[in-house]
Structure 1
């Protein structure tokens, strides 16, 4: 007799998916405005980047709350919810340091602000990829 054991991961709640997907364009916009500031030294680009980072932190923080609830509800042996949660935590923490960096005088934000924006954007993309991927795994026992 062959029994099939399947483990299904459902899609995220629509609000969770919207918040998670919203982090990428906000952090990406901050990266692009940092690049624009690096090339032109127009202070408004740095201000714009600071506001985009604040929005990205808000969306990422709310998505982090959803991820925490999912982590609590997940089976103890499942590593994916923990990895997703830790990736979001890393994104938020580095994003917070990026916000602190952008709170300085505009001239003082370069090049560390640009580097942090690159890292945070890549982390946000990875977290969004992991959070929105709908993997279905099944196996035979």
Structure 2
């Protein structure tokens, strides 16, 4: 008697969730710090944003390396299209985050301004989009038992 068991899972492993949690939390927090700085002109908000961005960038760099490894050796072999999109989004997010870190390293009002705020928005949107790509749908596998 043959039965087909159906398994649903994402194309990324659980370590992606751990690493992706940092950019998903820290980039929006940096965006809020930028908005607070633009509304109050208290310089400490730019310091907060700079540290939040630095933490998100470290995790995003590790996540990018893991995503590339997963493409060749992990579950992503079964969903290459989504895996390439995921890597592209993570790569652009990491690059924008590094630019954002350089922007926030500037002095005073110039550290945020229009460009810093725009980069924070881009990083936030890309982090959320990467999470949606990775965990928004599942791979369906049928296994004969």
Shorter-chain TM range is: 0.7 to 0.9
Aligned-pair CA distance for 1:97: 0.3
Can you give the 5+ residue segments of structure 2 that lack an aligned partner in the other structure? none
Aligned to 1:84: 86
Q: Which TM-score applies when normalising by structure 2? A: 0.82
Runs of 4+ residues over 6 Å off in structure 1: none
Contact 1:53 1:95 in 2 (8 A): yes
Q: How many residues align?
A: 135
Q: Hey, what's the Cα distance between the residues in 2 that align with 1:22 and 1:29?
A: 10
RMSD, aligned CA: 2.3
| 1:64-101 Cα shifts (integer Å, max 9, x gaps) | 12101111234388211111001000000000000000
Aligned to 1:70: 70
Contact 2:86 2:134 in 1 (8 A): yes
Aligned to 1:99: 101
Q: Which TM-score applies when normalising by structure 1? A: 0.85
Aligned to 2:110: 108
Aligned to 2:36: 36
Can you give the 5+ residue segments of structure 1 that lack an aligned partner in the other structure? none
